[in-house]
Amino acid sequence: MPVLIWQHLDALAHSITLLGSFPEAGDTDKRLPAIIRVEKTALPASLAATLLSQSLKNVQLMENTNIYTWLLGWLEASRENPDVKINIIHPATEVHIRKYTKQDVVMVHETPALYEQIVKPYISAFPPARTQWVEDILSGKSEADKILHRAPSPEYGYVILPDMKWDLITISSLYLMAISLSSSIRSLRDLRKSHLPMLRSIRVETARIVKERWGLGEGSIRMFIHYQPSYCVYIRACPSSTIHTKYASEDHFHVHIVNANYLGLMGSTVGQAHLLDDVISLLEVDSDNIVDGTSIYERLTLTYGLGDQHGLFGPLKQAQAMISAE
C-alpha cells in the first residue's frame, strides 16, 4: 500500500492526485516517491440507451423545485465501462512532484534578452538521459507500432502518436502529440521560416489521420504549442492494457492535438497555448530582410503564465521588476 504525503483535488478535471511512496522493486524496505493520479472516465455514448433503465443501480435525492430535480446516482459495475483511469509515476522525480503540486500562477514577460540570459541556459542544462526515451521512440528503437505517422527527415521530420492523457476510446477527448525529430527545435523561440513546411505537414497529416481513423472532419481538432513547454510530455507508448508514464520532453518541439470539443483542458488556455495556425501565419508574414537574420519568435516578447513550482519561476519573477523599470 502507498504511504500518502499529500493530495491535490482538481474538481474541474474530475481528478485527484496523490503523492506517496511505494516499495522499490526487489527491495521492500526501501520506498521511493510515487504520484498517483485518479481521474473519472467519460460516460460512453453506447451507455445512453440503457443508462436509466439498466445501468443506474441507485439514486439519492439532493433537491428539487417545481421543474428542476437534482439526484446523486450510482452505476452498476461494468468491465466494458471503467469508472476511473489511474496514472502512476514511480519512482517520481522532483520535477514530477513540482509539476503536480498545487501552485499559484503569475503572468511573466519574457523578453528576447531574458530568454538568452535565463530561459535558454535553463533548457540547455537538461541532461541527455532525461529524454533518452524520446530519442528511442523518435529513432524507431522502441514503440514503433504506436506511431500514427512518421516524417523521416532528420532536420524537419516528426512523428504523430497518441498522448497518454487520452483513453484511446472517447473521441470527444481525443489527444495526440506531434514531436519533432530534431532536438535543435526545442520551443517557439527556435522556429524559423524554414520550418514552415514541417508545420504545414503536421497540420495536413493530422487532418488526414483523424479523418481516416475517427471520422473527424475539417475544423474538428485544435492544434497548439505550449510556451513555456510543459514540464512533461506524456506519450501513450504502451499497450492499452497498461499505463506507462514517460518523462519530460522540453528538448523536442511538440504540437498538442486535441478534439475541438475537448473542454476544461488547462493547457489550452490563454497564457500558455499558441494555435498552430497562428504560428504558421506569423512565420509566413515574418520579414526576410532582418539585418541580423533573427526570426520573429526570437524578436518577440512572450507573455505567459508560470506556476510557482516551475524552475524558471524565481529568476523570471525577479526579472519582471527590471522590465517594469525600463
Concatenate the DSSP letters of all residues of 125-182 into one string.
TS-GGGGHHHHHHHHTSS-GGG-SEEE--TTT-EEEEEBTTS-SS-GGG-EEEEEES-
CB 30 within 8 A of CB 36: no
Catalytic residues: 254
What pLDDT, in 10s, does the model give residues 102-139? 778 889 999 999 999 999 998 888 777 667 777 888 88
CATH number 3.30.428.10 is the correct assignment for the domain at 103-325: yes
Record the cell numbers describing residue 296, joined without a space.
520573429
Residue 275: pLDDT band (50, 70, 90) is very high
Dist CA 236 CA 242 (whole Å): 10
Residue 211, annotated as binding a ligand: no
| Direct distance between the N- and C-terminal alpha carbons of the chain, in angstroms, rounded to an integer | 55
Look-up of cell digits 511505494: 22
Closest by Cα among 161, 168, 108, 170 to 137: 161
Q: Is the pLDDT assigned to residue 3 strictly greater than 60?
A: no
Q: What is the pLDDT of residue 5?
A: 53
Residue 247, annotated as binding a ligand: yes
Q: Which residue has the higher pLDDT, 52 or 161?
A: 161
Which burial class, exposed, middle or buried, applies to 281 when counting CB atoms under 10 A from its CB (0-12, 13-18, 19+)? exposed
Q: Work out the average pLDDT over 294-300.
A: 93
Q: Is the pLDDT assigned to residue 4 strictly greater than 60?
A: no
Q: What is the pLDDT of residue 17?
A: 87
Q: What is the pLDDT of residue 231?
A: 45
Per DSSP, helices labelled H in 91-131 are 94-100, 112-114, 120-124
- The answer to which of 71-85, 190-204, 242-256 has the lowest mean pLDDT is 242-256
Record the cell numbers describing residue 192, joined without a space.
524559423
Per DSSP, helices labelled H in 140-188 are none
Residue 99, annotated as binding a ligand: no
Residue 252, annotated as binding a ligand: yes
- Tell me the domain boundaries of the chain: 1-41+85-102, 48-81, 103-325
Q: Is the pLDDT assigned to residue 1 strictly greater than 70?
A: no
Closest by Cα among 88, 262, 219, 98 to 164: 88
Residue 8, annotated as binding a ligand: no
